[in-house]
Amino acid sequence: PWRDPGLLEQFPGRKQMIAFLAQHGIEVETGPRKRYSTDANLAGLSHEAEDLEDIETPMTIVEPLMCVWPKDAPDRSETVTMRFERGDCVEINGEAMSPLQCMITANRIAGRNGVGLKNALENRIIGTKSRGVYEAPGLELLGFGLRAVYQAVMDRRSTQLFHTLSQNYAQQIYDGRLYDPQARAILAAVDVLAHYATGTVQVSLYKGHILFEALRDCPHSLYNPADASMEASDGLNPVSSQGYVEVQKVEAIALAKAGQIVD
């Protein structure tokens, strides 16, 4: 409809649309008293336009709908456990749930603790920038938990690939290209990387913060405390690093001789 000249003439902006709805007895939450507009779905809310278009306007003019401002969150922390199997959340606080139930529950828990409120200046596909205040409490909580599992089960190269794929897929979503071959290929690749992402994550939520507490029952974890220890252990022998240093220095010496290393 935004490409219809007649509609644009009658409704050049949101103010005219709101006034038109009011004339016909239709109430909307983005009434004239709120100097911004809100779009919503299960994953979160975006608050944009009007007063928020001025980047000197603080994000706190927004009245959160899924969250509370961190200062208004409870004065005590809340402990949450999340169980992931092959990258999917299947339990929260010991209760088995469907993906939809996990999203709803995570939204509720994280939202009441002030998690998931962000201000952003984003790059639109048409080349302009827009400012928005976003609420995504459930995604913030679930994403934190899943990253904790990924950090344990993914090797360095898999982690690098996952970050690249994640950024690429986010761009596909933003551009509305969810069903393109590239997007489908990314999801197929992520399924491979997430195959071993099974574990239970415990976190605490406090006034907008998510604090890691524990990772348990993660059968495919690559983490070995002995290898990472700064104390004497039966893990990796420090003497073994000499061979690695000898190999690494070959390229460094070549770069230095070629004048490509600058102090």
Q: What pLDDT, on a 0 to 100 scale, did the predictor assign at position 197?
A: 98
Q: What pLDDT, on a 0 to 100 scale, did the predictor assign at position 76?
A: 98
Reduced to 3 states, what is the DSSP secondary structure of residue 177?
coil
Please tell me the distance from the alpha carbon of residue 16 to that of residue 1, in angstroms, as a whole number: 15
Distances (CA, A) of 13 to 20, 33, 38, 152, 218: 11, 16, 14, 49, 52
Q: Please name which of 247, 226, 248, 250 lies closest in space to residue 238, comparing C-alpha atoms.
A: 226
Please tell me the distance from the alpha carbon of residue 136 to that of residue 210, in angstroms, as a whole number: 14
Same domain? 100 vs 49: yes
Q: Is 230 a residue whose pLDDT tops 70?
A: no
Where are any strands of DSSP class E within the chain?
37-41, 44-48, 78-85, 88-92, 95-96, 117-123, 129-135, 199-206, 209-216
Q: What pLDDT, on a 0 to 100 scale, did the predictor assign at position 33?
A: 63
Same domain? 29 vs 77: no
In 24-155, which ranges are continuous DSSP H helix? Answer: 99-112, 137-153
Q: What pLDDT, on a 0 to 100 scale, did the predictor assign at position 233?
A: 61
Structure token digits, residue 74: 């409870």
User: Which pLDDT tens digit goes with each residue over 14-47?
Assistant: 788 888 988 998 877 655 567 888 999 999 999 9
In a domain, 61, yes or no: yes
In single-letter form, the type of residue at position 198 comes to T
Q: What pLDDT, on a 0 to 100 scale, did the predictor assign at position 102?
A: 98
For 21, the domain range is 1-33
Q: At 88, which CATH number?
A: 3.90.1260.10
Same domain? 104 vs 205: yes
Q: Tally Cβ neighbours within 10 Å of residue 251.
A: 9
Count of structural domains within the chain: 2
Same domain? 25 vs 150: no
The pTM score is: 0.82
Same domain? 26 vs 44: no
For residues 142-149, average pLDDT: 98
Same domain? 125 vs 8: no
The half-sphere exposure of 142 on its side-chain side, counting CA atoms within 13 A, is 23
Distances (CA, A) of 69 to 74, 113, 196, 208, 255: 10, 8, 36, 8, 52
Same domain? 7 vs 43: no
Q: Is 165 a residue whose pLDDT tops 60?
A: yes
Same domain? 6 vs 116: no
Using a pLDDT cut of 90, give the percent of the chain over it. Answer: 68
User: Which pLDDT tens digit goes with each residue over 102-131?
Assistant: 999 999 999 999 999 999 999 988 999 999
Same domain? 97 vs 147: yes
